[in-house]
Amino acid sequence: MSKATIAVIAAVSAATGAGVTVAMYSTRAEKKNQAAAAVSPSTSVSATPTISVPAPVPATVPAAIPIGNKGVILPPVDPTGLFQYGFPGPVADLATRSALVSSFDRRLRNPSWVAEHITPASLATSNGDRKHSNFVEDSAVPEKFRGKLKDYFRSGYDRGHQVPAADAKWSQEAMNDTFYLSNMCPQVGEGFNRDYWAHFEDFCRRLTVKYPSVRIVTGPLYLPKRDTTDGKWRVSYEVIGNPPNIAVPTHFYKVIFAEDGTTSGPVALGAFVLPNAPIPNEKPITDFEVPVEAVERASGLEFATKLPVQRRKRLCADTICALVIKEYADKQKAFGKEQKAVTAPTRTSPRNNTGSSSL
């Protein structure tokens, strides 16, 4: 990464000391999108709920080594012989469920990404009720790698949905899918999961008023922070559980694909990175908008390799990106024993009145 692409990290909230965002990975002036690169074949997903996807195992035939004019010899060692005992990994536990598709990171005990699809019809149907859903461990993930319910007990963090339950009300089964711990990450409760993050999820749902099809990818990030003592950048995050088991992300991202309902039409693409910390409701969501490329560099993932640049539009240029602050107190009562009801004053982001956005 070129030094020219690294911007000074800005504070997320001076009032609350919320931390820093992924802005360090790119400047606000995003360079013109490059033409889509060639795409390597993707791994097919079976209809089974969860499968483990290891990296390809190389061939075990040692390659011949040329030795000057003496021809070739076979190497005296065979490192790939290790594979007769098993493949070390990494392995991604890929789950395909009614409400979501997710890839689980065994090392950090959090999902790497969770994808969902919402439409006006899916949000208008209400056949599921979260009071009938329970948080459950994902038995499809090997026991030694999975997140445990006890890890969250008295941890000080909420079990934060990556795909929110409110997006899956169209059936009880779909809503239950969102309560697997493989769809959870430790999130700060008051000021974030129960407040700003909830308003952001509501913003995503409101996109279906304009767009007939909205796809969202959500996941955690673990971003570096500059040490004030020596000026060096370091990644530091808490790990909850006894023994320590689940990493606490420093940030969360959402990558949004707002579609026009066709397979060849324009796609409004938006990416946002928020700190896992209290954020004032007055903070404009556009302050957390970043280029998709920045999320890709920070996460090691790719999101739109098959979307031609000609079909891409910037989401916040195509529609008003602003939060509508609502009362969530009643809904919070059902969030779980560790989550208290929080009443937020009813008001609208100033940007919702002006219709403008700054970059």
Cα–Cα distance, 302 to 226 (Å, whole number): 26
Q: Which residues contact 165 (CB under 8 A, 6 or more apart)?
A: 128, 130, 133, 175, 178, 179
Q: Strand 50-54: give its sheet, edge to edge.
A: 50-54, 91-96, 101-105, 110-118, 213-221, 251-259, 267-275, 312-314
Q: Which residue has the tokens 């007990």?
A: 153
Q: 117, 161, 199, 251: which one is catalytic?
A: 161
Q: Which residues contact 115 (CB under 8 A, 6 or more apart)?
A: 100, 101, 102, 215, 216, 217
> Strand 50-54 to strand 347-348: parallel, antiparallel, or no bridges (unpaired)?
unpaired
**Residue 161 annotated in active site:** yes
Q: Residue 216 forms beta bridges with which residues?
A: 116, 256
Q: Are 214 and 256 in contact (CB under 8 A)?
A: yes
Q: Residue 146 forms beta bridges with which residues?
A: none
Cα–Cα distance, 78 to 285 (Å, whole number): 54
What amino acid occupies position 48? T
State yes or no: 193 annotated in a binding site.
Answer: yes
Cα–Cα distance, 151 to 282 (Å, whole number): 33
Point out the residues that are catalytic: 161
Binding site feature residues = 193
Binding site feature residues for Mg(2+) = 193
